[in-house]
Structure 1
Amino acid sequence: MLAGVAVEPWLATPGFVGTVIVKSLSYTFRGRHLNDLLPSIGRATVLSTASMVYGVSCILFRVGGGALAEAIGPKSATVGLAAGVAVLTQLFRVGGDVVVEPEAQRR
């Protein structure tokens, strides 16, 4: 939807609202997925690390997005970043699951 801003600027508002909704939902599912896959020993460390990596990546994405918006304009930056996220999402999807199931859950 954010890539549609290039054609219809009004799509920015529902696109940003949708982004916030997806972010909230994905945080819950990501934590649940990690929690289910990890053994009890070391679980808190891995969950804390995942949260920290997520936080740092958000900061870098926001700073990079702001710099990109300054360089090429906010509309072009929004469309470019949305297209980039869509391409990366498909590459991850095609690349397969990077999480290896523990032996106990394979049976």
Structure 2
Amino acid sequence: MKDTSHHDERIAKMTFATVYPHYVTKVERKGRTKEELHQVIDWLTGFNEEKLQELIENQATFEHFFQEANLNPNVDKVKGVICGYRVEEITNPLTQQVRWMDKLVDELAKGKKIEKILRGS
């Protein structure tokens, strides 16, 4: 993957609270629920409803968000293209983690079954 250090830095400083409403809108517009979105985020990060709300209220950056996360051991099964990049080929760990979440949200919005999104866990 080409050098995207400026992009990686921008992602690190972006707050989860600014992106979260877009995730909700995206999945709800496609007939999915906020609860399903939270289930997907919980699978990826280990964050329950309370912790997720705390991170939103505290305006946690993605850097802080993923430092606090307990990533699912099956996360390496998340593959495919998001924003023009193959998630499995992204070299910056934080950018890859954010893109994993983007990919999971995208799969949810596209109507993929929860069991498939959660990679059999």
Larger Rg: 1
| Same structural fold, with TM-score higher than 0.5 when normalized by the shorter chain | no
**Shorter-chain TM band:** 0.3 to 0.5
More helix by share: 1
TM-score normalised by structure 2 residue count: 0.32
TM-score normalised by structure 1 residue count: 0.34
